[in-house]
Structures are given as C-alpha cells and as structure tokens.
Amino acid sequence: MSDSQDTSAMDRPLRAGARKCREAHAAMTSGRYREAVQIAEEGLRLLEGLPPSEERERLRAALLLERGRARTMLGEYAAISDFQTVRQEAPDPSQRSEALVGIADCYAGVGDYLAAENAYLQALQEARDLGDSACCIRGWIGLGSVYWKQGRIEEAVQTLGQARSALQDLPDVYELGRVLINLGIAYTYSGQLDQAIAAYEEALDCFRTLQDDHRAAAVLDNLGELHQGIHNLEAALRYHEEARRLAEAAGADRIQVDVIRNLGVDLFLMGQYSEAMAHLEQALSRAREIGDKDLVLQALYSLGDVLLQQGQVERAMALASELEAEAEAAQSELHLARAKYLQGRIHLARGEKAAARTVLQDALSNAHALPSRILLWHLHATLGRATDDPEVARLHFQIAADFIRQTVEVLPERPLRTRFLQQPDVQAVLRKGR
C-alpha cells in the first residue's frame, strides 16, 4: 500500500505536467507566445523534485521545446539554451532532432545563416532516418526562410514546396500557415506577385482560423508591403494599420518593428516626411535592440533609401555601408545587392557616374542570382541613367522595361496593373526603353 501511494504521488505531477505541455502547445499554435512560455515554466516546476525516469525526462524535453519555440517567436534568441539542453539530454531521438531545428531557428534569427542552414540540414537528415515527418516539415520551413533571407529564392520555393506537399499527409493548419507566409515572401522578392498574394491570403485564413493575431499581423504587414511596392498606397496603409492593431494587442514586439518600418515608408510615399522619419528611426533602433538580423537589414535599407530621397546623401551612404557590411557578414546576396543599389544611386546623386556604374554592375551580378524582377528592373534603370553611351543606356532601359512588363502582367487585377504602370519612374523607363 505504501508503494502504491508513492507511485500515485509521482504520477500526479507527471499528469499535471503533461496537461501543461498540451496547454503550452495550444497557446503556441494560437499565437499566445508569452502565455505559452508561462505555462511551460509552470509545467517544468511541477517536475522539480521528481526522481529521474524516462517519462519525466521526455516530458521535461517536450516542455523545454514548447518554451523554446515560444521564446524564439518573441525574438528571444537566448532560447537556444532550451534547445541545447534538449539536444544534450532528451531520451527521445525525435526530440533531439526537433531541438536542432530550434537551434537553427535561433541562428537564423541572429543572422548566422550558414550555421542555421547546416543545422537545418542535419536535423532533416536525422528526421528522415527516424521517419519523423513533423520534424521534416519544421526543418523545411526553417531552411526555406533562410534561403529567401539570403536571396536564394528558387531554393526557398522548392524547399517550402516540400513542406507543403508533406502537409497533405500530415495536416497542420499552423505549419501550413508558416509555409504559406514564407512562400509569399519568396514570391514577392521574385516578382511573382499574383502567387504572393494568393499565398498570403491563404496564410491569413490559416492564422485567423487559429485566432493567431501574432501571425495574422505578420501576414497583413507583408501584404501591405507588397501593395506599397506597386504604389497602391491606400491599400498598403490599410493593411499596415490593421497589422499594427493586431500586433499591439498580441504583444508581438518583433512584428511591430517591421510594421513601424513599413508605416514609415507608406507615410514617406504619401508626403508626410517628418512622421515617416520618426517611424523609420524608431524601427531601426528597435530592430537593433531585439537583435533580429533580418529586421535590422530591412530597416537599414528603408531608412537609407528615404534619406537619399530627401537629399541627406552622406548619412544615406553611412547606412548603405553598414548595410553592405551586415549583409556580407550574414552572407545575404539579397541585402548585399540592395546595399550596392543604394550606394549606386548615392554616387549618381553626387554626380559620380563612373563610381555609380561600377557599384551597380557589381550589384547586378548579385541580383541576377536571386532572381528578383523588381530589384533587377530598378538596377537596370539606374544603370541606364548612369551610362553616358546612349545605345548602352537604351539597352539597360529596354531590359528594365521587360522586367516591368513581366512584373505587371501577373498582377491579378486591372486597377493594380494600371496603378503600377502610372508611377512616374515606371513611365520614364517604359518611354526610354522603346
């Protein structure tokens, strides 16, 4: 009787801990990341003082994985310690592979894309050997996101496509939403805007089904940025205002940083310069505080671009140089090409045509590997303006015009196509590229 009571006394905290793990997972997949962290910690405390057993260690690892994932989503990349503990101590090999995906997520967050790629690939190999489809899906999603952050767009689409195919056999609305938002970003960078819009809208349906305001805000932010890029500014501002409202309600600090950046660009394009600068300065400052590399890279470019357009050439060049150094350190061809594009325009604004041509040609070699129709047409158009030879200049404008037509022909609605084509810089390229 004594032994039975002792066993029962041990079973109760294990059952309670398992319940906390389920609750933490439910909070995680509905975007309540801070709550997920708190619940997981409550579960971990329930296990303190219990004697070692395989069941206890497996449950402890599961709670650490939930806490680590939630912390990572909050931009707390010190969560790597949770995953490292699971990697070293979990009795279940599937949990150890899941932990490696978490470690890769943290590497990706701080911009160590090479380490992230290697960790994802190792986790995927382990998961395949174990027949763990769920871990493979998470690994492919993470690897796909690293690829688009580096500018490896075709690889991103292919890798995310593997995750999407696997989800047909293992349906998971949360993971499907993650696949789709990353596909939307990859399609946007490549200029396949029709597919980007479709992916984002399907992702939004997933996260609204889950009542995940955190992720829904991220999708709305990206949809707004897509419309911003084609100068559909009323829609861009509408999406970004809704994204800000949801992100604030969800306590999604990392998403708020990018929303603030995008609102700054919206406001600048609408002529509200002082408000725009305040938003962009705040976005860069907060991105640096969080330490999320992709947020920093995007904020550096947006602020540098706006400073250049306002004539603050020297400060714009300082940010462009910082962006170049950060992009090289992160091995991101995408952001390296954008840094050089910004530098080329700055040289052109100074009247330094030879220097502009040199850096823009260098940017072009980075950009052709991406491929990004929107960036390519901007680069060729700027090279056309920087070139003294009329025939060479006309050739660059013709190439830019071709990329513009490829971009606009896939826009799903005639008003969007018309609005895009009516932009003064687009009109100028189309005239010169005849």
10-residue averages of pLDDT along the chain (434 residues): 49 90 93 94 92 92 97 94 97 97 97 96 98 97 95 93 95 96 94 92 96 95 94 94 95 94 97 96 95 94 96 96 95 92 96 95 78 84 93 92 86 80 86 82
Q: Does residue 85 lie within any of the structural domains?
A: yes
Confidence (pLDDT) at 151:
86
Q: Does residue 374 lie within any of the structural domains?
A: yes
Length of the chain: 434
Start-to-end Cα distance in the chain: 93
Q: Does residue 289 lie within any of the structural domains?
A: yes
Q: Please, what is the Cα angle at 63 between 59 and 65, to 5 degrees? A: 115
| Cα Rg of the chain (Å, integer) | 24
Confidence (pLDDT) at 4:
40
Q: Does residue 324 lie within any of the structural domains?
A: no
Q: Which residues are within 8 A (CB) of 209 and not within 5 positions of it... i.e. 6 or more apart?
A: 173
Q: Does 371 sit behind a cis peptide bond, omega within 30 degrees of 0 on the bond before it?
A: yes
Report CA 164 to chain centroid distance, whole Å: 18
CA distance 63 to 391: 65
Q: Which two tokens stand for residue 236?
A: 């861009």
Please report, for residues 71, 105, 259, 284, 327, the alpha-carbon distance to residue 32 in angstroms, rounded to integers and kept in the order given: 11, 19, 19, 25, 32
Q: Does residue 326 lie within any of the structural domains?
A: no
| 150 shares a domain with 136 | yes
| 255 shares a domain with 234 | yes
- Residue in the block written with tokens 């070139």: 387
| 60 shares a domain with 37 | yes
CA distance 10 to 88: 25
Q: Which of 147, 162, 197 is the last residue of a domain?
A: 197
Q: Report DSSP state, residue 79.
A: G
- Residue in the block written with tokens 């992702």: 203
Helix (H, G, I), strand (E, B) or coil at 404: helix
Q: Which of 147, 174, 197 is the last residue of a domain?
A: 197
Helix (H, G, I), strand (E, B) or coil at 230: coil
CA distance 392 to 99: 53
| 225 shares a domain with 168 | no
Query: Domain with 25 in it: what CATH number?
Result: 1.25.40
Q: Which of 73, 132, 63 is nearest to 97 (CA)?
A: 132
Q: Please name the residue ranges forming H helices in 30-132.
A: 33-47, 54-73, 80-89, 93-110, 113-130
| 99 shares a domain with 80 | no
| 310 shares a domain with 218 | yes
Domain of residue 58, residue span: 9-91
The phi, psi pair for 311, rounded to 5°, reads: 90, 5
Q: Does residue 319 lie within any of the structural domains?
A: no
CA distance 71 to 77: 7
Q: Does residue 335 lie within any of the structural domains?
A: no
Q: Which two tokens stand for residue 116?
A: 């992230």
Q: Report DSSP state, residue 310.
A: T
| 162 shares a domain with 186 | yes
| 86 shares a domain with 135 | no
Helix (H, G, I), strand (E, B) or coil at 369: coil
Q: Which two tokens stand for residue 189?
A: 């960078």
Q: Which two tokens stand for residue 24?
A: 């933490």
Helix (H, G, I), strand (E, B) or coil at 371: coil
| 84 shares a domain with 107 | no
Q: Does residue 338 lie within any of the structural domains?
A: no
| 246 shares a domain with 224 | yes
Please report, for residues 35, 205, 266, the alpha-carbon distance to residue 27 in angstroms, rounded to integers and kept in the order given: 6, 18, 33
Cβ proximity of 140 and 186 under 8 Å = no
Q: Which two tokens stand for residue 272?
A: 């509200």
Cβ proximity of 274 and 251 under 8 Å = no
Phi-psi region of 336 (alpha: psi -120 to 50; beta: other; left: phi over 0): alpha
Q: Which of 178, 257, 214, 172 is nearest to 32 (CA)?
A: 214
Q: Which residues are within 8 A (CB) of 250 and not within 5 positions of it... i.e. 6 or more apart?
A: 31, 32, 213, 214, 217
**Model confidence, pTM:** 0.91
Q: Which of 46, 61, 91 is the last residue of a domain?
A: 91
Helix (H, G, I), strand (E, B) or coil at 116: helix
| 56 shares a domain with 33 | yes
Cβ proximity of 290 and 274 under 8 Å = no
| 97 shares a domain with 189 | yes
The structural domain count of the chain equals 4
Query: Domain with 271 in it: what CATH number?
Result: 1.25.40.10
Q: Residue 163 CB: number of other CB atoms within 10 A?
A: 24
